[in-house]
Structure 1
Amino acid sequence: MAKVLGVDIGGTKVRMGVIDDLGQILYEEQIPTQIPLYPYLEENILRVLAAQPNVSAIGVGTHGFVDPKQGKVIYAAETLPGWTNTPVKEWLEKATGKRVEVENDANAVALAEAKFGAARGLDRVVVLTLGTGLGGGVLWDGKLLSGGPHGGAAELGHMILYPNGVKCACGRLGCSEMYVSGTALRRRIREAGLAITPPELFGNAQTDPKAKQVVEEFTGDLALVISSLQAAFDMEMVIIGGGVSEAADLWMESLQRQLKPMLLNPLDVEVARFENDAGILGAALLVLEQ
């Protein structure tokens, strides 16, 4: 039975898991993201491989624009300083002696949900990961829409939502991820004069009008993003993952209510089946599927 290492690199944490070809997670751990990232990543991957000697290959899902053919990060915003232009595949293959494949992290989530999760059996699916930023993954006729000449295909978080709006880490104004992400929620909470965390916000919205207003504005913007994506992709399903999705039972009704009048056609919106495990499962599938 094949065993591979799936690595999910985000702005605040790195998750690693050993996964078999049935999608079973045999071992997993989480470490905080540290900068400079590459030497820290290599050191921890080598540590896990020493303890898990039967791992045959490594799949990496990472924040940023990725060229999956080269296995190189083309561009990463200041969420991961110094990560731009890192040849992850080349360096890790040299360090470990194992095959390595690299993809954008939201694309990895889309793979996991299509193979094992909420989108199983569907051909056209859009995945949105609401974490530090807003990641996007698109399954088009059963295949990942990824790469592109600059590694920027399906970077849905960098579609402009509000022209001349809040400055994004990419340097432009009004990107969707500045309104629909964990970082955006923290800014909205601060601007509303509330001294609470995003998870507390959703609970408080049941009784606190200020908190409820923040949630309504957040879900309204998420509805705008989804309706625009439907016009582009006419997908069968939208899957929402990332840390913010863990509280979806507290904000999904608000999203559905605001989304309904914006849709061109009926659309299923589901929470990622694997929640935070989707990243390591999808990363593993990069090497399990080939």
Structure 2
Amino acid sequence: MKVIGVDIGGTKIRMGVLDSDMTIYKDYKVPTSFPLYDLLEKEILSIIEEFPDVEAIGIGTHGFVDSNKGRIVFASDLLPGWTGTEVKAQLEKATNRRVEIDNDANVAALAEAKIGAAKKYNRTVCLTLGTGLGGGVIIDDFVLSGGPNGGAAELGHMTLFPGGAPCPCGRKGCFEQYVSGTALRRRIEEAGLPYKPEELFTAEDPKAKQVIKEFTYDLAVVISSLQAAFDMEVVVIGGGVSEAADYWFDDLQEQLKPMLLNPIDVKVAELKNEAGMYGAAQLVL
């Protein structure tokens, strides 16, 4: 069975024709342009013309997604005009193929759960530490997603410090304001340090080490809180911050031990930039 996996980003769209063994028959990259739906339909119809045996289309996208209806509930200015788009209904009509769509963090988590770092587990929480904090929850091969507002498993917007740092969602003290790349930059500035986030982890400065300790402590609190909700077997950590995990992973493990209800495994994501396309394909496989 061949399917199309689509990973929609703010600057480019990655599309691949894949089968159930995750063999990639062809890989496409196009710059993101608007209206986004028009671009998406045009490119997918072109791929189907080249691969008429494609049976389904899976899509991962930024934003809040009602995955049952296949509708974009909300997308930021990163994807103007995308909010409200009935992607599933429109694209199924245009292509005569089954279409499934979900949030990009959810599909990345699905990829890690099916073929990546968590493939030997049944209950997985994936945390993507990038500009914000993306999250995905996979339980027995099912993605926890959707909801009437497309907000299920928006883990980055759970509250860590009530009344804390303002978040773009309009609330204060959200997880992502303390455990993300953006959070690291703010912590560095508040500590008066001259480092970029990627330089912080190798600095021998005692203040830098303190920032790392506070960061890993908060990440440990996040993980232990999620364990109480989901009782996962494994946490997979991805995103740009995970690329420096060699420097902070042991510290996280030490901070985490006394907080856990039961031992869990913590792993670094394996699929990197491939996760979105693979996970989108998994939505329809």
Instruction: Give the TM-score normalised by the residue count of structure 1.
Output: 0.85
Q: Tell me how far 1:102 sits from its aligned partner.
A: 0.1
> Using the alignment, how far apart are the partners of 1:57 and 1:18 within structure 2?
10
Identity %: 66
Which residue does the alignment assign to 2:178?
179
Give the corresponding residue for 1:103: 102
- Aligned partner of 1:214 in structure 2 is 211
> Matched residues in 1 for 2:227 and 2:212: separation?
22
- CA distance, structure 2, for counterparts of residue 257 and residue 36 of structure 1: 48
Which deviates more from structure 2 when the two are superposed, residues 156-165 or residues 26-35? 26-35
What amino acid is the match of 1:119? A
SS in 1 for 2:188: helix
The aligned counterpart of 2:262 is: 265
Offset at residue 193 of structure 1 (A): 4.1
Q: 1:30 to 1:213 in 2, by over 3 A?
A: farther
Give distance in 1, aligned partners of 2:188 and 2:128. 20
What amino acid does structure 2 have at the position aligned with 1:287? V
1:84 is aligned to 2:83:
yes
TM-score (ref. length: structure 2): 0.87
CA distance in 1: counterparts of 2:279 and 2:192, whole angstroms = 38
Measure how far apart 1:201 and its partner are: 3.0
Query: Could you tell me how far apart the structure 2 residues matched to 1:183 and 1:79 are?
Result: 17
Whichever residue aligns with residue 61 of structure 1, its letter is G
1:241 touches 1:276 (CA, 8 Å); kept in 2?
no
**Contact 1:132 1:181 (8 Å CA) reproduced:** yes
> Does residue 1:28 correspond to 2:18, yes or no?
no
**Unaligned segments of structure 1, at least 5 residues:** none
* Aligned 8 A contact 1:6 1:58 in 2: yes
What is residue 68 of structure 1 aligned with on the other side? 67
Give the stretch that moved more between structures: 58-67 or 46-55: 46-55
Aligned match of 2:130: 131
- Tell me how far 1:214 sits from its aligned partner: 3.0
For 1:114, the equivalent position in structure 2 comes to 113
Structure 2 residues not aligned, in runs of 5+: none
The aligned residue for residue 230 of structure 1 is: 227
The answer (yes or no) to whether the contact 1:16–1:30 under 8 Å persists in 2 is: yes
- TM-aligned CA deviation for residue 146 of structure 1: 1.7
CA distance in 2, matches of 1:193, 1:13: 35
Q: Cα distance 1:270–1:38, how it changes in 2: closer, same or farther (>3 A)?
A: same
* Contact 1:78–1:169 (Cα < 8 Å) also in 2: no
1:213 is paired with a residue whose SS is: helix
Number of residue-to-residue matches in the alignment: 285
CA RMSD of aligned residues (A): 2.6
Q: Tell me the equivalent position of 1:146.
A: 145
- Residue aligning to 1:277: 274
> Cα distance, 1:59 vs. partner?
0.8
Could you tell me how far 1:24 is from its partner in structure 2?
2.5
Q: CA deviation at 1:8?
A: 2.0
Q: Distance in 1 between matches of 2:265 and 2:229?
A: 16
Could you tell which deviates more after superposition, 185-194 or 155-164? 185-194
Between stretches 15-24 and 50-59, larger displacement belongs to 50-59
